[in-house]
Structure 1
Amino acid sequence: MMQVFMLHFAGGNCYSYDFLKRLLPVGFQGIPLELPGRGRRISEGLLYSRADAIADYSRQIAALRDPGCSYIIYGHSMGASLGLYLARDFEQQNDPPAALVVTGNAGPGISDEEPGSPQRYLLGYEEFKDELRRLGGISEELLASKELYDFFEPIIRADFQIVDEEKDPDDELTVHVPVIAVMGSDEKNADQIDNWKNYARGYFSGKTLPGNHFFIYDYAQELKNTIVNSRKLLLHGF
């Protein structure tokens, strides 16, 4: 059995990867995790720092790990950034993942914000809504409903505050585990996907698929294949 720990994107929750869980074949256990303040953890307080988010995810993985199984960490966007830190931390604990699969993210230190622009989580009400429209992945019905949007906005602002810390990544942020990165061809920094090589001391593979930041929903089969095929790297000793 191969466990697949799934880290959601900003504003996501444990249900964000239902589409992917259904596709995983026998022998793969999809385990979507979530940060406090959404989904099944809606009654818990939101987190606002990278360190707190990493610590929370680390506790979840440690509690759910089957020591008799290998595991993969998969994250999209914010989840990709946090996944790198988690892979490093578990590697240092002599329990490294078989692979780190990251999507929708060009790696630490790369931002799609214009130089000198305000941090996204500090944008005004309408400006923040416009930024969410630009990124895609959120229905216009939600953005148009004041009740739904006012419920959702604090969650994604908190997540963006965590994401914005990636402008200042930790020193020595590298892993020896295989890193497989995939981005949508229309993403602003898709041409910088090889930035992940700076953080992968071992095997690295990067590719783009047609689409925007949320291309994963249009290419679910390809995403599933990427995750499943990463198991072969473990079998070949990478």
Structure 2
Amino acid sequence: MMEIKQKGNRYYYYSWEQMRSFPIKKSEAIEKIANGEAKLVEYFMMEAAPEVEEVVAEEVIVVEEKEVKSNVIDFQAKKEEKQQREDMKKAKEIFNQEILPYMTSAEVNGLFYADNFKEEMFRVMIRIKRTGGKILSLVPKRNKYQPRFALFMQDNQLNPGDDYKTYEYIRWIDRHSAAFKKSIGKHYLDILTPNEQDKFTDYLVEVVGE
């Protein structure tokens, strides 16, 4: 489920494809939350929880702040936003290079649906450190597969029981997703609607079948 965070009068959603947050229109954010397509959170799973400042029971001085005109640039906010982008870029690089290549498909799914993302991530990191990251995902032996994974198997000539690297499947989806969005006039960061998700699966069928 999409995560949306409110910061002042602005709303942001978290993109797993890019592993960072992006602005979203207030009306669109409220609509998605109301429809159950997204949930409002205080902070995203990949962000550190905000520290709670201790309130000291001393003399409190109330300072009336002058209303800042809308056309004045908030340099502090710009600086914080830039720092956030840099931090997320570093976190993404570490995750892609040192964690994701060694995760099993079950662990990737576990992160998406974990009640406590940080605890699940900590468990994964302990497993990787203990095993040296040598465990590869195995294609499960079953009669039916999720349609997109079945197409990934076909495109990469994988059979039940073969091993593969989980991040290869994720990058395969990301690559084709970007191409599909471009073909329908969307930006690669835009979110696909449920109808467009179905069309994306049809698109994969055509691409793999070529």
State the TM-score, normalizing by the size of structure 2. Answer: 0.29
* Greater percentage in helix: 2
Higher relative contact order (CA 8 A, sep 6+): 1
Greater C-alpha radius of gyration: 2
